[in-house]
Amino acid sequence: MSSTIINKTHISVAQNASGRHLNVPIYEISSGMDGPHVYIQSSIHGSEVQGNVVIYHLIQALKNILVRGKITLVPNCNPVGTNIKAGEYTLGRFDPVNGTNWNRGYYYDEQSVIEFANNVSETDDISDIRNAFKAHTLNKIIEKKQQPWGLGLAQQLNLTLQSISSQADIVLDLHNGPVSSRHIYIPEYLAHQANQFSMPHTILIPNQFAGALDEASFCPWWTLSDHLGARFGRDYDFNIEAYTLEMGSQEIIDFKDGEKDACSILAYLQHKDAIATNTYQPQKMKRLCVYLKDYKTLFTDFGGMVEYSAQPGQLIKKGETLAKVLNIDDLDNQQGVKVIKAPCDLIPILHFPSASVLSGTQLYKCFTQYFEIN
């Protein structure tokens, strides 16, 4: 009778000015059975902390579940980002040294995938191709990390994490929006999997790399599969999946919601045969979906103090009020309050967290041209 074993180690993901290594824990959970390798990390953006409590609940649940394959959990994977405070706020989105987004420095090189694909022969077994491609990717990541001119702080940290995640079959990156509904980024080829998560809002993303972990995890396999398919005229399904889950608002830890989020992930893992149980089911819910091109950012043209009238998840019609902006130079006349109206029918998914905004602030991100997926 097998049982579940949790193995905890630490890796250094950065070094501070005093020379101290900043370590993060890695929890590896397995039961000595065969199955997919799952990788889950949280808080690459330092103020997006809810994923840590989700991982806590996952570990508690997994103690009593047999794991097929292996589940690797890296909570609070960015100890630099978490500790950059300015008064009450965590400035966790950008590497403070170089200004780069902490979720844009992962590795992907389309050309190297095509070169790899050109060396595959028609008779090669799909699992051999998979293993060889994982080894190939890991070598490239190590090569990139060791290149003689060095790399910025965020990219070094990203590549250290990716040297682990790139060996997984399933990658989940746990984030939060500023003030946000729960939503998930799913690559278009996995649109059918939206039903396996208890997420009301889904953004479908194309095979385009902008530097994020989910893209760095699925783009290479998508490109490889397309390229081999075109060469040999048949389907290559490597069964690799990667998602970014946005679990509500940043700067909040909610244990109860965290348990629900963990159950949502466990239902998906059960569906993928990564865990040996039938306890978990995705919630019955209406799931709305957009293509990335229809996920619009609304900027404000003027500065001021904002009331966010439209809430995340609310259905808003064209012309309805999204926000009111107070202009303190015009409190005695008609210009004191400017109303920002919806340019089309939309659903706000998230909004800026602060009431004080400069002109050019991303006020809302919205679903437009959305449709139901089920």
Which residues of this chain interact with Zn ion, rule CB under 5 A? 45, 48, 175
* Among 350, 345, 352, CA closest to 368: 345
Between 140 and 175, whose beta carbon lies closer to Zn ion? Answer: 175
Between 30 and 41, whose beta carbon lies closer to Zn ion? Answer: 41
Q: CA-based angle 263:267:271, to the nearest 5?
A: 165
Between 31 and 181, whose beta carbon lies closer to Zn ion? Answer: 181
Cβ 43 to Zn ion shortest distance, Å = 9
- List of residues 6+ apart from 42 with CB closer than 8 A: 48, 49, 50, 51, 52, 54, 55, 74, 75, 76, 77, 174
Between 213 and 316, whose beta carbon lies closer to Zn ion? Answer: 213
Could you give the CA distance from residue 187 to residue 222 in angstroms, rounded to a whole number? 9
Cβ 183 to Zn ion shortest distance, Å = 12
Write b or e for each residue in 128-166: b if 16 or more Cβ atoms lie within 10 A of its Cβ, otherwise e.
ebbeebbebbeebbeebbeeeeebebbbbbbbbbbbbbb
Tokens of 24: 């993060």
Cβ 74 to Zn ion shortest distance, Å = 15
Between 48 and 261, whose beta carbon lies closer to Zn ion? Answer: 48
Between 45 and 227, whose beta carbon lies closer to Zn ion? Answer: 45
Cβ 157 to Zn ion shortest distance, Å = 14
Q: What distance lies between CA 25 and its chain's CA centroid?
A: 19
Q: How many residues does the chain have?
A: 374
| DSSP state, residue 37 | E
Cβ 297 to Zn ion shortest distance, Å = 15
Cβ 202 to Zn ion shortest distance, Å = 17
Between 98 and 131, whose beta carbon lies closer to Zn ion? Answer: 98
Cβ 310 to Zn ion shortest distance, Å = 22
**83 within 8 A of 139, measured Cβ to Cβ:** no
* Among 90, 60, 96, CA closest to 76: 90
Could you give the CA distance from residue 237 to residue 24 in angstroms, rounded to a whole number? 33
CA dihedral 83, 93, 206, 282 (to 10 degrees): 50
Cβ 251 to Zn ion shortest distance, Å = 12
Between 45 and 57, whose beta carbon lies closer to Zn ion? Answer: 45
Q: Left (φ > 0), alpha (ψ -120 to 50) or beta: where does 365 sit? A: beta
